């Protein structure tokens, strides 16, 4: 087989890049290790920045999102028993975010892929990348018991944190930056009405809590738990009691509980590799970086990497601008580090750390109080939350 761009991984990064390239007439083949159902079974984030919303529209996969997604003009910070509103729209000159689950984004992209007839291999095993710096870059893999070879000009490594792409780069080439936080998020999905029209990020002596949603009838709630907690030890009743204890009394009184339809614990990590390119291979999304979920940036960063690689490849294929390929990593990393900073800062400000001394605890409280009490502080939160602008490629 032969194509222009080989895409490893059919998460949101791989599917969105594939869709944009296909629409632009650039051939691509997607190779995914899991089945489509397995990919759709993963419950992940749900807040889309405006840049990602616009990119999904450009890709032609936004009809359902525009019908069913919830546009949010702001969110709430809860601390000291009170709610403080962050007016995203007012503070950013009209920008908003869209509440629409990653699972739904993925489903829409999968349907578009199928409708386009462009090739996608699910259930591929033993995926290997070859000749990344040479004249014959290619990918080999096993599918339905058959060994296949895909020749290509470029490879997009969209295969997530545990994927093969980053690991195919020779040791010593990449520099990794990492912080693992000493806690995780216990998340529950339930068919209950949201406790509040907007998201609530709560800082409490018992730990952080987040009230989010997927629709007017489906909620996603989280509580900070110790890294070693086991999901089996958390009955629904225990989860709801813990969540209520961390919310302002008036909010807790309004909380509607119900049976969970999914419950899981996710660790919190910050991670970046530099550079994001090695020869003909380009790392995209979670393959190159992870953020803790507190800023809702993971999926959005994947979209901005896709945007950058797509715009570069367009110019490569249409105008012969191969010089732009070298810029991919620097353009992406500039925005990634800013999102890493915001995610780290939100995490640091809102969570309880096991080793916090009295002075650090006061600093944390004061930081929250200061930022929320100052127009400059609220503006910096808002402009980061709605998403920093994408860099133009020219
Ligand atoms: N070969 C082929 N596919 C692979 C391989 C491999 N060796 N290893 C992993 N994959 C697949 C995974 O099964 C998965 O479907 O690559 C895909 C990667 O998808 P994601 O992990 O969702 O990563 P990405 O598409 O970059 O999405 C961005 O942002 O907030 C985060 O976690 C959130 O998933 C979201 C991510
Ligand atoms: C979610 O809805 O899952 C969600 C929302 C906001 C975050 C993280 C997760 O910051």
**pLDDT string in tens for the chain (394-residue length):** 999 999 999 999 999 999 999 999 999 999 999 999 999 988 788 999 999 999 999 999 999 999 999 999 999 999 999 999 999 999 999 999 999 999 999 999 999 999 999 999 999 999 999 999 999 999 999 999 999 999 999 999 999 999 999 999 999 999 999 999 999 999 999 999 999 999 999 999 999 999 999 999 999 999 999 999 999 999 999 999 999 999 999 999 999 999 999 999 999 999 999 999 999 999 999 999 999 999 999 999 999 999 999 999 999 999 999 999 999 999 999 999 999 999 999 999 999 999 889 999 999 999 999 999 999 999 999 999 999 999 999 9
User: Per the omega criterion (within 30 degrees of 0), is the bond before 275 cis?
Assistant: yes
Q: For ligand 1, is residue 297 a contact (CB within 6 Å)?
A: no
Q: For ligand 1, is residue 286 a contact (CB within 6 Å)?
A: yes
Is 385 one of the catalytic residues? yes
Cβ burial, residue 215 (10 Å; 0-12/13-18/19+): middle
Q: For ligand 2, is residue 220 a contact (CB within 6 Å)?
A: yes
Catalytic residue chosen out of the listed positions 221, 293, 310, 328: 293
Is 201 one of the catalytic residues? yes
What pairs with residue 267 in β-bridges? 184
- Tell me what pLDDT residue 237 has: 98
- Tell me what pLDDT residue 44 has: 85
Mutate to test the pocket of ligand 2, among 99, 189, 208, 210 (most ligand atoms within 8 A of CB): 210
- Tell me what pLDDT residue 43 has: 79
Contact by Cβ (8 Å): 226, 183 = yes
Q: Which atom of ligand 1 is nearest to 161's Cα? A: 21
Distance 295 CA to ligand 1 centre (A): 20
- Tell me what pLDDT residue 41 has: 86
Contacts of 186 (CB under 8 A, 6+ apart): 222, 223, 224, 225, 229, 231, 234, 239, 263, 264, 265
Q: For ligand 1, is residue 300 a contact (CB within 6 Å)?
A: no
Nearest CA to ligand 2 atom 6: 296
Which tokens in the block code for residue 111?
């349907």
For the question of whether the overall pTM of this predicted structure is more than 0.85, the answer is yes
Burial track 251-262 (b if 16+ CB lie within 10 A, e otherwise): beeebebeebee
- Tell me what pLDDT residue 356 has: 86
Give the Cα separation of 155 and 8 in Å (integer): 7
Number of helices (H), then strands (E), in the chain: 13, 20
Superfamily designation of domain 5-72+95-177+268-354? FAD/NAD(P)-binding domain (3.50.50.60)
Cβ burial, residue 175 (10 Å; 0-12/13-18/19+): exposed
Is 38 one of the catalytic residues? no
Distance 17 CA to ligand 2 centre (A): 23
Q: Backbone phi, then psi, for 160, in 5-degree steps?
A: 70, 180
- Tell me what pLDDT residue 266 has: 95
């Amino acid at each position: 087989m032969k194509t222009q761009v080989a895409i490893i991984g059919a998460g949101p990064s791989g599917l969105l890049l594939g869709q944009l390239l296909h629409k632009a007439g650039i051939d691509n083949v997607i190779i995914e290790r899991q089945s489509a159902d397995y990919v759709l079974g993963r419950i992940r984030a749900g807040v889309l920045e405006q840049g990602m919303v616009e990119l999904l529209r450009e890709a032609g996969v936004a009809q359902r999102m525009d019908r069913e997604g919830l546009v949010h003009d702001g969110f709430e910070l809860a601390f000291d028993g009170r709610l403080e509103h962050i007016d995203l729209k007012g503070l950013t000159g009209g920008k908003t975010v869209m509440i629409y689950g990653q699972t739904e984004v993925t489903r829409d992209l999968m349907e578009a892929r199928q409708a386009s007839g462009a090739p996608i291999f699910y259930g591929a095993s033993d995926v290997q990348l070859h000749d990344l710096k040479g004249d014959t870059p290619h990918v080999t893999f096993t599918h339905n018991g058959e060994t296949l070879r895909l020749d290509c000009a470029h490879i997009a490594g969209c295969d997530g944190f545990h994927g093969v792409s980053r690991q195919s780069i020779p040791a010593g080439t990449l520099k990794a930056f990492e912080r693992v936080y000493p806690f995780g998020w216990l998340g529950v999905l339930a068919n209950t009405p949201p406790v509040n029209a907007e998201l609530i990020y709560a800082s409490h002596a018992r730990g952080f809590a987040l009230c989010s949603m997927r629709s007017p009838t489906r909620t996603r709630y989280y509580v900070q738990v110790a890294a070693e907690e086991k999901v089996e030890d958390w009955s629904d009743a225990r989860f709801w009691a813990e969540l209520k204890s961390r919310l302002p009394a008036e909010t807790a009184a309004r909380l509607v509980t119900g049976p969970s339809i999914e419950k899981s614990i996710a660790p919190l990590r910050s991670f970046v590799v530099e550079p994001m390119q090695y020869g003909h291979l380009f790392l995209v999304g979670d393959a190159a970086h992870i953020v803790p979920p507190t800023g809702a940036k993971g999926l959005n960063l994947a979209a901005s990497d896709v945007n950058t690689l797509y715009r570069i490849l367009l110019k490569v294929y249409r105008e012969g601008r191969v010089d732009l390929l070298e810029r991919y990593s620097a353009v992406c990393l500039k925005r990634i580090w800013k999102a890493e900073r915001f995610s780290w800062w939100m995490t640091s400000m809102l969570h309880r750390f096991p080793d916090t001394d009295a002075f650090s605890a006061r600093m944390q409280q004061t930081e929250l109080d200061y930022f929320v009490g100052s127009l400059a502080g609220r503006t910096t939160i808002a402009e980061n939350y709605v998403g920093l602008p994408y860099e133009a490629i020219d």
